[in-house]
Amino acid sequence: MEIENLKKAVNILQNSKYFSAFIPEVRSNIVMAKKDAEEINDVAGIPGRITAVHDKPRVFTEPEFGASSHMARFVLNIMKHDPSKRSVMNIKFDEKIINICEKLGLKVSYYDRNGEPEEVKNVEGGTIPWGVEIAIKKVGEVPDVIYHQGAWGKEPSIVLIGTDAIDVAKMAICISKLFNTIKGPEVLFAPQIEKSIPKKPEISCVFCAMANGEPEPSKNILYNDGENMVVLNINPYTKGHLLVVPTKHYTDLTELDSNALKNLFKTVQNSLILIREVIRPDGVNIGLNLGEAAGQHIEHTHIHLVPRFNIETTFIGATTNTRIIRENLDDTYAQYIAKIEILDNIQVLRF
């Protein structure tokens, strides 16, 4: 079971165009332990680790047990505190990555290798148990992310922690997409204040770029009838978060005449039906923000449809007013497209 889970996780990583930027100089490894694992041979990993070839993540051997002593020791020490957390992966250290993790609501902790006691340094493999223990004590539970900023001759590192290898891989891809898309943490998406950030900062209005058919920003359009678009939010609050956007650049709801309003809210109504059919939520928030103080970060008027669930958890959990999305956008897009006939006058723009 662990080997198959790792194979799927490796496939997720290798199919990402973003993850190679996360591979450190010592390379990455992802491991998954058996239930009740007690020793290194109870933990499966990647022989030779995960490397990058021509800026693409690459694995050249099949997962096997006992393949990574370093990450195996890490997960074994994590499991002493929380047996459900059976997978870890190391990635490069970058302050921006830590910032993204914190903004996403992940529980982050750390240890300082410069404070490592001599009696720990003198024991082979002693750093990991000591570091894990310190990091857990800082937050009172097993965090989602543990990092250290290195020491003499030691590369800084971040370790992602999850229930299985697939969840850890998805976590890494989610973070890596934000890392590569967002220009610096000062404009980092905060889930409670929705932002749709264009990939290219020179685009003055991402929704106008979509309406004009520019390929990169248009790739998440589900529907465009020439007057209104239905767009998959690139920074969703929950799975399936949609935006309904007029193709004309209105900056306020009062600028729409009665006919435009009717067609806009007809599209909202049909989008609600689509969400209920595809996502099957327990509820849906529908609303729009007008003005920066209200949380509007793109002047172009747009309406949010946010699926809500009685229990809103993810592969690593959620904290108040923050969410991590378990499913990637491409998977959600494909599910919507399969039911797209629910929307009238369909004109799919997928690049």
Decide if 2-182 and 194-342 have a common fold. no
Q: How much is the pTM?
A: 0.54
CATH of the domain spanning 194-342:
3.30.428.10
Catalytic residues: 302
Domains of the chain, residue spans: 2-182, 194-342
Domain 2-182 has CATH 3.40.225.10: yes
217 or 227: which carries more pLDDT confidence? 227
Q: What is the per-residue pLDDT for 337?
A: 84
d(C-alpha 258, C-alpha 176), whole Å: 43
Percentage of the chain lying above the pLDDT 70 cut: 86
d(C-alpha 287, C-alpha 306), whole Å: 9
- In tens, the pLDDT along 27-83 reads 999 999 999 999 999 999 999 999 988 888 999 999 999 998 899 999 999 999 999
The average confidence (pLDDT) of the chain is 84
- In tens, the pLDDT along 296-335 reads 888 899 999 999 987 654 434 433 344 555 566 777 888 8
Residue 199 above 80 pLDDT? no
